[in-house]
């Protein structure tokens, strides 16, 4: 019965979380680092804007890599990044079984950002059965209106023991204000 609950919770968890991204070649990382503005010529304002370029609300599609049986290969999520380093995320799953993900983000270099979020999964009786830890690396395009991401996720028991790990990739688009 416990194994059945954990499998159910894992399946639901995968649906609840945002877990995705493509891997990035080292050469492109070096190109990004070389393309960063020189602080002495462009001033600190450009660097500060670059560091906060991910702030805003995004929609994304996450593609699971080798999902377990019964887990959908695709998850849709909404995420909001605040300028002070917080992130909130929801997905196309049942909110009575699992809640939103909460976490922190930071600027790495150029257009690259990292984040870590946590989400809880509950059984139908409301008992906390699984904690999901989601780690992500996102790279914004040059316009700053789309990103690609690489995700690593861990399913943990409520006391922190690892149950299962996995990977995913994702693509996201920034929301914009539309005319009334």
Domain range 2-174, CATH class: mainly beta
Gap between the Cα atoms of 97 and 76, Å rounded: 17
Cα gap 146→20, rounded to integer Å: 14
| Residues pairing with 132 in the sheet | 119, 155
Phi and psi torsions of 3, nearest 5°: -60, -40
Domain boundaries, given as residue ranges, for the chain: 2-174
Question: Do residues 167 and 71 make contact, with C-beta atoms less than 8 angstroms apart?
Answer: no
Q: What is the dihedral of CA 23, 84, 130, 121, to 10 degrees?
A: -110
pTM, rounded to two decimals: 0.71
The pairing of strands 162-174 and 56-65 is antiparallel
**pLDDT greater than 50 at residue 176:** yes
pLDDT tens digits along 73-118: 888 999 999 999 999 999 876 554 567 899 999 999 999 999 999 9
């Amino acid at each position: 019965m416990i194994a059945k609950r954990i499998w159910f919770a894992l399946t639901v968890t995968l649906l609840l979380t945002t877990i995705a991204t493509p891997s990035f070649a080292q050469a492109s990382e070096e190109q990004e680092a070389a393309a960063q503005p020189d602080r002495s010529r462009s001033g600190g304002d450009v660097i500060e804007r670059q560091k906060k370029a991910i702030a805003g609300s995004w929609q994304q599609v996450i593609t699971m890599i080798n999902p377990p049986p019964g887990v959908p290969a695709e998850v849709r999520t909404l995420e909001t990044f605040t300028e002070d380093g917080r992130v909130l995320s929801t997905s196309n799953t049942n909110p009575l079984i699992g809640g939103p993900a909460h976490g922190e983000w930071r600027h790495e270099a150029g257009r690259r950002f990292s984040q870590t979020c946590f989400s809880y999964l509950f059984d139908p009786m409301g008992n906390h059965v699984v904690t999901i830890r989601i780690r992500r690396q996102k790279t914004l395009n040059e316009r700053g209106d789309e990103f690609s991401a690489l995700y690593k996720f861990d399913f943990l028991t409520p006391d922190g023991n690892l149950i299962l790990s996995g990977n995913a990739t994702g693509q996201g688009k920034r929301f914009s204000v539309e005319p009334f």
